[in-house]
Amino acid sequence: MDDVIVLDQLTKTYGRRRGLAGLTLRVHAGEVLGFLGPNGAGKSTTIRLLLDLIRPTSGTLRVLGLDPRADAVALHRRVGYLAGDFIVDGRQTVASCLRFLAALRGGIPARRITALTERLDLDTTARITGLSKGNRQKLGIVQAFMHRPELLILDEPTSGLDPLVQQTFLDLVTEARADGRTVFMSSHIMAEVEAVADRVAIIRDGALAALDTVAGLRHQAVRDIELTFTTPVTAADFAGLPGVTDLRVTATTLRCRLTGSPDALLRAATRHTVTSLTATEPALEDLFHAYYTGADSAA
């Protein structure tokens, strides 16, 4: 199937402020793409452009094969959208709000809505004005998922949710993907993206800083390695190996940092008798920090 979201050199400026600076990105049909970046990176700007809530300064975009500018109505019918600042009329109850939104979308079986509100433990008799931030967010999630859209576009969907509800939300995402639907979700939190995303895009300063699978990102990350041998080794035995830096050898122990494949290091090691090997799993948070700040270790 064709890519569901295609962004080409998408740029948005707000007067003299930069919102997005030439973002090129494709989201494949049926995948969950986590969209990460620090505050002000341009995540919400991208999402608003996808839905034609704002218009690009330059560049092109297509969503579900449509031009959001020309086909906004057709597009909104096929998309489930949760805004970062989800706002609805506060005087109504949760139930009447959901009934209204369901009618706008051509009718949705009541049991499907109930199934979602029950799973998220959302009281449908409550008035929206009185809802906590977390309960409002639950309402936002229900309305985004309830019509089983082909594409879910979710801006910081877990903000304000407690850990239990976060997990329910992640289950909903996993089920949507199992149904063949596509999910594009922005986040600040690596751990939740890691749990559900097929790929992760990281944006910084309005442009793509990294795009890879979670496993791929982990593979690029730096590991701390410690090897011990039955007999003393020398640093010269391990000089010039690809990906190996900070090499320190003391008698029978070798310590180093490793980026990428461990193959060359292991081949060199097995010329001796190895008694133990430890490799500290890269902390993805550290890797992301490097991407966020543009540090060299992530290059």
Q: How far is the CB of 20 from ligand ATP (least distance, A)?
A: 7
Q: What angle do CA 5, 192, 31 make, to 5 degrees?
A: 30
User: Which sign, positive or negative, has the C-alpha torsion 120, 126, 129, 132?
Assistant: negative
Of the listed pieces 14-22, 61-69, 74-82, 289-297, which binds ligand ATP according to CB under 6 A? 14-22
**Under rule CB under 6 A, residue 40 binds ligand ATP:** yes
Q: Return the HEC string of 111-143.
A: HHHHHHHHHCCCCCCCEHHHCCHHHHHHHHHHH
Of the listed pieces 43-51, 111-119, 168-176, 232-240, which binds ligand ATP according to CB under 6 A? 43-51
**Under rule CB under 6 A, residue 157 binds ligand ATP:** no
- Residue 171 dihedral angles phi and psi, to the nearest 5°: -60, -40
Of the listed pieces 37-45, 100-108, 124-132, 138-146, which binds ligand ATP according to CB under 6 A? 37-45
User: Which sign, positive or negative, has the C-alpha torsion 179, 181, 182, 188?
Assistant: negative
Annotate each residue in 61-100 with x if it binds ligand ATP (CB under 6 A) or - if it does not, as one string.
Answer: -----------------------x----------------
**Under rule CB under 6 A, residue 43 binds ligand ATP:** yes
Residue 282 CA to residue 77 CA, distance in Å, equals 42
Residue among 5, 10, 11, 19 that touches ligand ATP (CB under 6 A)? 19
Write the DSSP symbol of residue 66: B
Of the listed pieces 34-42, 110-118, 270-278, 284-292, which binds ligand ATP according to CB under 6 A? 34-42
Residue 130 CA to residue 139 CA, distance in Å, equals 13
Nearer to ligand ATP, 151 or 207 (CB): 207
Residue among 1, 16, 39, 273 that touches ligand ATP (CB under 6 A)? 39
Write the DSSP symbol of residue 93: B
User: C-alpha distances in angstroms, 263 versus 22, 188, 204, 216, 217?
Assistant: 37, 33, 32, 16, 18
Residue 237 CA to residue 251 CA, distance in Å, equals 12
**Under rule CB under 6 A, residue 204 binds ligand ATP:** no
User: Which sign, positive or negative, has the C-alpha torsion 101, 105, 110, 112?
Assistant: negative
**Under rule CB under 6 A, residue 135 binds ligand ATP:** no
Of the listed pieces 40-48, 90-98, 117-125, 271-279, which binds ligand ATP according to CB under 6 A? 40-48
Nearer to ligand ATP, 42 or 56 (CB): 42
Residue among 16, 17, 111, 133 that touches ligand ATP (CB under 6 A)? 17
**Under rule CB under 6 A, residue 41 binds ligand ATP:** yes
The whole-angstrom distance between residue 176's C-alpha and the CA centroid of its chain comes to 15
Chain residues that interact with ligand ATP, rule: CB under 6 A:
14, 17, 19, 37, 39-45, 84
